[in-house]
Each structure stands twice: as structure tokens, then as C-alpha cells.
Structure 1
Amino acid sequence: MLSTSDFGQLRAFVAVGEELSFSRAAAALGVSPSALSQMVRGFEERVGLRLLNRTTRSVSLTEAGETLLQRVRPAVVDLGAAVEQVRQSRERPAGRVRVHCFRVAANLFLTPMLRSFTDIYPDIVLDITLDDAVVDMVRGGYDAAIRVGEVIERDMIAVRLGPDLRQIVVASPDYLARHGAPTDPADLKHHRCIRWHWPGHATPYDWEFWDGERWFDVAVDGPLIVNSRDLERQAAVTGVGLAFVVEQMVTPLIGEGRLIPLLQKWSAPFPGFFLCYPEQRQMAPALRAFINQVRGFAAAGTKNVGSSRSEHAS
């Protein structure tokens, strides 16, 4: 394996071998002729052979030097091109960005920015996994994730994307006409409820309410268990039963009269969605471009969120 000094000396030898002049090679490398001469001499001592013939008027390659130059010149050129490509990637981000995202968050923050992002950064590939499971980002090989604040690891950088959320009980007018409306969370035990199965949990999600002082759970029952929030919402619209959903995702349906909100005084806000990623000293340009784009779209679409700042989620 070449050390850092070995590579520097090899690069110096190639420059002199190509120019056959210490002064011209020194100018190309941005060093003094005396420093360049010392580097080449050190390299010759390292390999144990004379590689250059020097006189006061000329420089020429020895047979060993000519052989070595022909072998190593392509490699040195390729390494230089590779470094330049990486340097240029700072100006033109490229590569793959793996993102883990809660399904509801994808509708709010990813879908609206995909067209613009892919147009601006044609060399970046977004590899997005939509999944409501809380996975270990680092172990799963993800660069970033979008999830609710209460399930973000403490060692992650978290950027708020929107306001706090609320979950509310909703039902269709048809369901309420047939079964009546609950007036208290305890009444839910007598209603047909559409249950959501949170991935990674053994049992369906218990509905959570706030009594003014504390959170409490209600274990509901009903004819349908789903692992899709979209299916849960649509089933509620068709009158299958009551659903417990993120308020933002049903606001249009409530406005159209297709769903009716219930038990709202027991629904309290909780930390909303955050973009999170591991803390790192040197961030890949592609990941930085993705983070900036998501933050920009979130800020533009949420009145009470300005230029989001990095913060650790509690």
C-alpha cells in the first residue's frame, strides 16, 4: 500500500518524467524546483533505483524510469480525475439518497417536491421506503427519515417540518345515522371501530386521548383491522365504522361533509413530523440537497414554520 508521502513522491516523479524539466514540472504542481527535486530523490531512495538522469542542462529517464512512468501514468491520471469528479460533485450533487418515511408524511412533504427535485438534481437517485415501522436508520442503511417527533432517537439531528398534529375520531354521516355518535371515549367500546395495525407491534394500536391532565388509552374493537392509513380513511368514508386519524389528512373530507369529527375535546396535539438524520462532519452533497429541498417545501407550505433549524428531538 502506498502511503500519503509515497503518492506525493510518485506524482512528483510522473510530473518530471512527462515534462523532462524540474522547473516546468514544479510550476505545474505549484511547488519550488528544489522541493520537487527532494521529493523525486526521496522516491528514488524509496524504490532503490535511479529513475532520472540529471545534468545541468537536461533531464532524461533511465530505463527503469521509463518503464515505471509507462506503468503508473494511467493510474495517476485516473486518480486525479476521480478526485476532480468528487470535487465537482459539490457543485453538481449526484448519487443515491435512501429515505425512510412514514406514509402520511410522504403525502405531506415528499410528493409535492419530487418533480421539482428530480428536475433540479437529475444525477441524484431518491430511494424512498414508505413504512410506518420505527426502524433503526443506521442499521437499515438509510440516510434520512421523516417521522413523528416522539419516536426519533436522541442522537439524531431533527428538523421540524410542520406544526404539532392531532388525532381525531371521525365517522361518516351514514354511520352516525345508523349507530349514533359517541359522547365520551368510554362509549367507543360500544361502537364499530376501524383499527390500525402499527408495523412492528404485535397488537392493533390503542386510541389515545387527553383528559386535561394525562394521556389515556382506549382499547377499541370492530370489524376491520388495516395497516394502511389510506384504507382506514376510505373505510370510514364508506361507513364501515369509526376511525382514529391524523386531522390534517381528513380536513378536506370534513369540509366536504363526508366525515364528521367527534370527541375533539379529548384530542390534544403531539409533536409533528421531523426530518431526521445522523450527525456527521462531512455530509454528502446529494443528502444536503435533499434536506434543503424538503425543508424549503415544508416551510413554504406551513405558515407557522419559518426557516427550520436543526434541533434534537425530545
Structure 2
Amino acid sequence: MRRMIHPSEFGALRAFAAVAEQRSFSRAAEQLGVSSSALSQLIRGLEERLGIRLLHRTTRSVSLTEAGTALLAEVAPAIDSLAGALEQARSAARQPTGTVRLHCFHAAADRFVVPILPKLACAFPDITLDLTIDDMVVDLVGSGYDAGIRIGELIERDMVALRLGGDIRQLAVAAPAYLAEHGVPQTPKDLLQHRCIRWRWPGQPGPYAWEFFEKGHWFSVAVEGPLITTSRAVMVDAALAGVGIAFLKEESVVDAFARGELVPLLTDWSVPFPGYYLCYPQQRQMAPALRAVIDTIHAAAPN
């Protein structure tokens, strides 16, 4: 177990080392920014606590006793080490350095993080971004992350949240071949009669129930179908192949709409909702590296 040192003794030892180095109370006092009388009291108090004289004092000179010489040999390297550590801390505050752990969903990483990686590496070469990309909903703080990117409805209340980009809209979509064979659903309830491609949050036991909006309220439909997956890319491919109806972010399939490969369905029941946020725990003193990452992502995010 480490032996504890009273806080006052740090100051006394620093004062002793300064006097020993300068061989003068007046010069040491000037170096430390204190009065000679205050410095003398610090040394006298240290000697009294130790029960031994550390300095020989005359009106003209100061010299070390044998005990003082031995103590200086022990404490001087430690004081130098502490001074170096403090300077490193000050340097870290001036130039962001260290590792920042960030968790985000696949779509958020592609949209907000991957594009800023070259800029981040160039502007902050001493920062290491430890990026975890998956669609699990994790406890950011409990899992050791510094920050995360997730949709608004999944942010803990005690988090600071910065908006990234605009709203998100999810749509039921299907290939023309599927609709030609199985018909077009006219209401969300009609989906219960269709083959649907379902998505499951990683780590969750069951598939996600599709959410729609009508008359000021959200409601969900627990669809059925031949495929459940945790991969949105697989959902897109399956929908394109005519396996069934999928429920996907509009931005991920606009090109397929333009090419006529997929058809949007039930658009009157599909309204936008708050999209992605960069979130992190409230803190008085934010590490410069984390601040640099947050500012870089937020500044580059499309409106």
C-alpha cells in the first residue's frame, strides 16, 4: 500500500529543494514567489516534523547538513519527475492527444464519421480514434465509450446531444415483381397479409415492429415474413430480389426508386422523425482529444 503524504509536506519539500539548490533563502523565495520569512517557516516546520536539522544557516550562507544532503538526493528526482508530469499535462491541454472511443451505428458511421477521418488525422495527428461500428444499443458510459452517434429516441436523458443532419423517414418498399404477384398494401394493417423482410436490433430477442403515423399518433405493426436479419444491406438485397416487403430508411433506397427497382409504399403513414445525434456524458472538464473529435464531426455534418 502506498504511504500517504500530507499535502502541506509537498510544499515544504519543494521549498527545501529550492533553498538547497540556490543556497540562499532570498533567491529561493524569489524563485517560488513567496517571502523569505514564509519560506523560513516552511523549512523550520519541516525540520520540526522530521525531528532533524536539514540546513546550516548563517547570516551569510546556507549549507546542507548530512541529513539534508541525504533527503535532497531522494526528493530532487521526485520533484523533477512531478514537474515533468505537470508539464506533460499542460502540453496535452494545448495539443489534443490520446484515444477517443466512439460507438455508432453502421449508417451513422458511413454518413458522419468516415468522411471526416482524413481531416481528423491531418489536424490532430496525436489522437487515436477507437471506432466501434455496430447496431447494438449499448450503455455508452458503462461500456467505456467517450461518445456515440445514435437516433434521437435512443439517447439517455442525462446525455448532451448535438444534432447531426436532418430528419429520418422510414418507408415500406418492395420490388415491382413482388407487387405484381402479391398486390399492393393499401394500409399498414394490410402488411399482415404480406411476406415481409424483418430487421432485428443486434442483441434483441425479437424483430423490430414497423412504426407508422396517423392522426397525431404513432402505432406499430408486428409483421411476419420469410426473413429476419440484423443487416440492413441484406434487407435491401432481399427486397431487390423480390423476397418481400422491407422497411428501410428512405435515403438508403432513393437510387433504387429512381431506377424503378423498388417502389415506395404507404407513404401517407410514413413521416419524418428526429435523426442522428452525437451524444456524450455531461462533464465539467472535457478532454481536449474528445472535444476535437466532437467539434470535427459536428462541423462537417450535413444540415
Normalising to structure 1: TM-score of the pair?
0.90
Structure 2 runs not aligned, ≥5 long:
none
**In 1, distance between residues paired with 2:40 and 2:236?**
76
**In 2, distance between residues paired with 1:216 and 1:101?**
27
Deviation at 1:196, TM superposition (A): 0.4
- Once the two structures are superposed, residues 49-106 of structure 1 have per-residue CA deviations (whole angstroms, 9 ceiling, x without a partner) of 1111111111111111111111111111111111111111111111111112122211
Contact 1:104 1:229 in 2 (8 A): no
**In 1, distance between residues paired with 2:62 and 2:250?**
79
**In 1, distance between residues paired with 2:277 and 2:60?**
68
**In 2, distance between residues paired with 1:13 and 1:27?**
14
Q: Which of the numbers 21, 35, 43 marks the counterpart of 2:24?
A: 21
1:142 is the counterpart of 2:148: no
Deviation at 1:293, TM superposition (A): 1.0
Distance 1:185 1:12, change over 3 A: same
For residue 188 of structure 1, give the secondary structure of its aligned residue in structure 2.
Answer: helix
Deviation at 1:17, TM superposition (A): 1.4
Partner of 2:156: 153
1:43 is the counterpart of 2:46: yes
Runs (4+) off by over 4 Å:
none
The size of the alignment, in residue pairs, is 300
- Once the two structures are superposed, residues 237-267 of structure 1 have per-residue CA deviations (whole angstroms, 9 ceiling, x without a partner) of 3333221111222233333433322211110
Over the matched positions of the two proteins, sequence identity in percent amounts to: 58
1:123 is the counterpart of 2:126: yes
For residue 90 of structure 1, give the secondary structure of its aligned residue in structure 2.
Answer: helix
Partner of 1:9: 12
For residue 299 of structure 2, give the secondary structure of its aligned residue in structure 1.
Answer: helix
For residue 209 of structure 1, give the secondary structure of its aligned residue in structure 2.
Answer: strand
**In 2, distance between residues paired with 1:173 and 1:242?**
11
Letter in 1 for 2:296: Q
Letter in 2 for 1:250: V
Deviation at 1:178, TM superposition (A): 4.1
Structure 1 runs not aligned, ≥5 long:
303-314
Distance 1:230 1:36, change over 3 A: farther
**In 1, distance between residues paired with 2:87 and 2:79?**
12
Contact 1:20 1:59 in 2 (8 A): yes
- Once the two structures are superposed, residues 119-155 of structure 1 have per-residue CA deviations (whole angstroms, 9 ceiling, x without a partner) of 2112111112223222222211111111111121111
**In 2, distance between residues paired with 1:92 and 1:296?**
19
Q: Which of the numbers 87, 95, 99 marks the counterpart of 1:96?
A: 99
Letter in 2 for 1:31: V
1:150-229 equivalences in 2 (<5 Å): 150-229=153-232
**In 1, distance between residues paired with 2:286 and 2:14?**
29
Letter in 1 for 2:61: S
Distance 1:238 1:29, change over 3 A: farther
Q: Which of the numbers 267, 278, 294 marks the counterpart of 1:291?
A: 294
Normalising to structure 2: TM-score of the pair?
0.93
